[in-house]
Structure 1
Amino acid sequence: MKKSTMLFTSITLAATVLAACGNDSENAANTGSNSQEQTNSASQSSETQSNDMTIENAVTTKQVEAYQKMLDELNKMKEDEEVDWDLIESTYSSELKSAVNEIDNEFDTFITTGIQAGKSGELDQNVARQMIDKGTQSYFYQKQKSLQQAVIDAKDAKKDEEAMLHFEEVKLLTKKVFVPTAEKRDSYYELEGDSSLVENINNGLSAQEDALSEGDMENFAVTKQVTDKSIYKSYYLAANSYAEKIEEAVNSGETEELQIMQTEALGFYQAIKGSLSGGDEEAAQKLSELFDISNDPEAIKADEVSNLFERAFAGKIKGYHEKVAELDENNLSEGKEAAMEANVFLKAIEMPLMEALGEEETNAMYEDAQSWFDAVSNNDAEEANKLSEQILTKLESVVE
């Protein structure tokens, strides 16, 4: 494992890069579900809240409690205790299933398959456990995105109490679901300080909370990128780390838990595969095939998985650069948004860039990316095009 010294910039630098961008185009993209359905899901949740608008009575709180109840029951298998699959099935059906389907029915299929296979004994119980756990985590990630938009929508509608409640729901999901996952990635990849996923998630939330309390929703929309993309990166690194663990286990002859690790990789990948398909559909599909538990986990090679992720991220980055180049000076806001998205995803593959280019050249590439964003912001098309070509040429040399 290699230590990355700069996986993410500090919240201050990130805010500088993201400044003047009020929307998240990645949120608007198809991430495996309809974005309007996600917004509707959050809105419907708010309608069912208690009149006192407390986090204790929020739908998200009840869903997290149901998730933890299922995990507590599933974790009995670690102690060789009997698992009550009927309890897991009824808890999921009554508290989560409908909401999961509203976000993405593929998540429901994945979770339900795990429950049924665990109950029938068709799959190893630990494989079934990971399908249920990671499938639900994928749902919570997409729910977080819809809740972020619900905060903005409620604030725009001057429903301040509702906006604050939705943000409290985001914070709850972060504490109970996302941070524990990010902590494991920080530990595995030795990420500390400004590189720490946990630190960046918490810094993003803190900046969002400040913006929300001040009624600065433009800055709220900017800083939510730090929160969201740090969580996104933790899911990418989780899937990538299991590919590394699988190959290491195969090489050492310790193959008993290969399918369990493969299922964990697939579960984390579920959350972001729709987004990555927009970068390179072939690469994203190949990752799906490698992680699919119907395929031999011994076929998973860490370098291949890493390269496929790089291809998908590179495709997204190139797409945003092309979008910027096609926009005219009357679309400044949209241009900044697309440039910011490109830079965020460029940061996501910092570790492979460091390995391929070295620290000095990688840092120079990020300086070019910042200058490109500045040129786009200043409507300097000539400078922006020159820098874009430099960035993409260097990126293509790494991916190829």
Structure 2
Amino acid sequence: MSYKKWAIAVLASSVALTACGAKQTSQPAGQANQQAEATKEQNAAPADQVKLFKEMVEELEKAEKGEKVDFDKVSKLYADNLKKLVQARDSEFNEQLDQQISNAIKAGKDGSLKPDVVQELVHKLGLKAFFLSLRHEFKEIEEHFADKKEAKEEFEEAETFYGALKTTVEKRDQAYQTQLASTIDGAFKDMEKAVDSGQKLDFSLAKQVIDKSLMKAFYLAAGGAQGYAYKIEKAVKEGKDAKAAQAEAWAFYQSLYGYLVKSAKEDAEFIQKKFDLQTDAKEIKGDEINKSFVRAFALVAKSEYQESFENFGKDKGPVTALEGALFISVIESDAKKILGEAATKTLLQQADELVKAAKANDKAKAEALYKEIKPSLDKLANAGK
């Protein structure tokens, strides 16, 4: 696999929900994996789950047209076909998605939340469940990599789960003129080649491209220049009800929060609190949210580079170097406003070169490149301050 394929330019709540920021009880990884696998055996095929999820979303989308949503139908579709999948992800990733989704549907049925708010919560939290299912399948591929038949089956399931997320990615491409969908499609093709040829490092690199491209799509939806943070602020100024947009922003953000909070706790918690449905929409300002995202992703990138240098000479070295580069690419359009077009282009090129240096195990070159990258990352990590 050519590293050119990973060139950075290509990547170019209410009380009813109870789980907004609630602390979760951890459990042993082995127990979580056992529960996840036991539940998986009871699940419908991934293709059916994706199909039925879309059917459930179509019923919920009646709210947008002013039509009555059949919440009994929604509840049955969820309970009969998707609940076990969501519970498996809850066990494996220590989440509370089933509680959140179930409570949202219940709130729609009893009228304590408006149908359009429920629609956004159930849809976007469902997307998170499929995003986590994708990560689950990637872990399964890694664990069974030596067994080509098993790994290929897990790959096919991952590709199927992505079908639930693709429309969201394509919408961001249309809004931002990005190429995330084609990048992900290409990475899936390279991942399949890696599985077939037994090249585990190539698989790991492709996995990161898919994962971080999806994270970029979620970020653009929630906090990008055309994201819901700005839409909420605009709606408030125009005297419109912004609760559905706030629900969508919060639910999209749940696919990012757990990752960002590890390296950028202050900004991650700030965004979480602002998007929470108990927060008055008047308190949400697009620029504040956007700059918090920029700072958070810059800090995450720095953390990935640190991990890369700690793992030089191992496969994890180039993988985490690529993660650092991809996180810079997540905020590329923001960086252009803060650093300037030329400086951002240089930053992306340097990040790409650092990945190559890590793959070549050239630590001296990688360290020299990071010395040039770090001042830009520091500036992004202080954006808006």
TM-score where L is the length of structure 1: 0.81
When the two chains are superposed, the root-mean-square deviation of aligned CA atoms in Å is: 2.8
The 3 A distance-change label for structure 1 pair 286 and 111 is same
Specify which of 264, 267, 280 is matched with residue 280 of structure 1. Answer: 264
Q: Which residue of 2 aligns with 1:150?
A: 140
How much has 1:37 moved relative to structure 2?
7.0
Which 5+ residue runs of structure 2 have no aligned equivalent? 9-23
Specify which of 158, 162, 180 is matched with residue 197 of structure 1. Answer: 180
Query: C-alpha offsets along residues 118-153 of structure 1, whole Å, 9 cap, x if unaligned?
Result: 011001111011111111111110111111222333
Q: Which residue of 1 aligns with 2:240?
A: 255
Specify which of 322, 326, 331 is matched with residue 349 of structure 1. Answer: 331
Asked whether 1:311 is paired with 2:298, we answer no
Quick one: distance in 2 between partners of 1:254 and 1:199?
A: 38
Q: Which residue of 2 aligns with 1:181?
A: 168
Q: Percent identity?
A: 30
Count of aligned pairs = 359
Q: Which residue of 2 aligns with 1:167?
A: 155
Asked whether 1:373 is paired with 2:359, we answer no
Q: Which residue of 1 aligns with 2:102?
A: 112
Amino acid at match of 2:176: Y
The 3 A distance-change label for structure 1 pair 144 and 326 is closer
Asked whether 1:137 is paired with 2:120, we answer no
Q: Which residue of 2 aligns with 1:121?
A: 111
SS of equivalent residue, structure 2 residue 305: helix
The answer to whether the 8 A contact 1:332-1:376 is kept is no
Q: Which residue of 1 aligns with 2:4?
A: 13
The 3 A distance-change label for structure 1 pair 200 and 375 is closer
Quick one: distance in 2 between partners of 1:37 and 1:136?
A: 24
How much has 1:12 moved relative to structure 2?
5.7
Amino acid at match of 2:367: N
Asked whether 1:244 is paired with 2:233, we answer no
Amino acid at match of 1:73: E
Quick one: distance in 1 between partners of 2:239 and 2:331?
A: 29
Moved more, 337-346 or 114-123: 337-346
Asked whether 1:265 is paired with 2:256, we answer no
Quick one: distance in 1 between partners of 2:302 and 2:58?
A: 44
Specify which of 42, 55, 74 is matched with residue 88 of structure 1. Answer: 74
Q: Which residue of 2 aligns with 1:220?
A: 203
SS of equivalent residue, structure 1 residue 184: helix
How much has 1:203 moved relative to structure 2?
1.2
Query: C-alpha offsets along residues 337-387 of structure 1, whole Å, 9 cap, x if unaligned?
Result: 332221121111111111112221111112222333344444444443333
Amino acid at match of 2:156: E
Specify which of 371, 375, 378 is matched with residue 393 of structure 1. Answer: 375
Q: Which residue of 2 aligns with 1:209?
A: 192
The answer to whether the 8 A contact 2:117-2:247 is kept is yes
Amino acid at match of 2:119: R
Amino acid at match of 1:111: I
Asked whether 1:230 is paired with 2:230, we answer no
SS of equivalent residue, structure 1 residue 255: coil
Query: C-alpha offsets along residues 302-339 of structure 1, whole Å, 9 cap, x if unaligned?
Result: 11111111121122112123334445x6x443332332
The answer to whether the 8 A contact 1:375-1:381 is kept is yes
The answer to whether the 8 A contact 1:42-1:146 is kept is no
Query: C-alpha offsets along residues 87-107 of structure 1, whole Å, 9 cap, x if unaligned?
Result: 222322232223312323321
Q: Which residue of 2 aligns with 1:8?
A: none
Quick one: distance in 1 between partners of 2:144 and 2:340?
A: 45
Bigger relative CO (Cα 8 Å, ≥ 6 apart)? 1
Quick one: distance in 2 between partners of 1:61 and 1:41?
A: 22
SS of equivalent residue, structure 1 residue 398: helix
Which 5+ residue runs of structure 1 have no aligned equivalent? 1-10, 18-30, 50-57
Quick one: distance in 1 between partners of 2:205 and 2:307?
A: 20
How much has 1:41 moved relative to structure 2?
6.4
Query: C-alpha offsets along residues 268-323 of structure 1, whole Å, 9 cap, x if unaligned?
Result: 11112101111201111111111111111121111111111112112211212333
The answer to whether the 8 A contact 1:32-1:273 is kept is no
Asked whether 1:99 is paired with 2:85, we answer yes
Amino acid at match of 1:367: Q
The 3 A distance-change label for structure 1 pair 255 and 115 is same
TM-score where L is the length of structure 2: 0.84
Quick one: distance in 2 between partners of 1:318 and 1:287?
A: 20
The answer to whether the 8 A contact 1:127-1:263 is kept is yes
SS of equivalent residue, structure 2 residue 278: coil
Query: C-alpha offsets along residues 161-208 of structure 1, whole Å, 9 cap, x if unaligned?
Result: x43332222222223x221001111111122xxxx1111111111222
1:4-43 aligned at under 5 Å gives the runs 13-15=4-6, 43=37
The 3 A distance-change label for structure 1 pair 93 and 382 is same
Quick one: distance in 2 between partners of 1:324 and 1:108?
A: 35
Asked whether 1:363 is paired with 2:354, we answer no
The answer to whether the 8 A contact 1:33-1:103 is kept is no
The answer to whether the 8 A contact 1:186-1:197 is kept is yes
Quick one: distance in 1 between partners of 2:317 and 2:201?
A: 16
How much has 1:216 moved relative to structure 2?
3.4
The 3 A distance-change label for structure 1 pair 204 and 342 is same
Specify which of 273, 296, 315 is matched with residue 280 of structure 2. Answer: 296
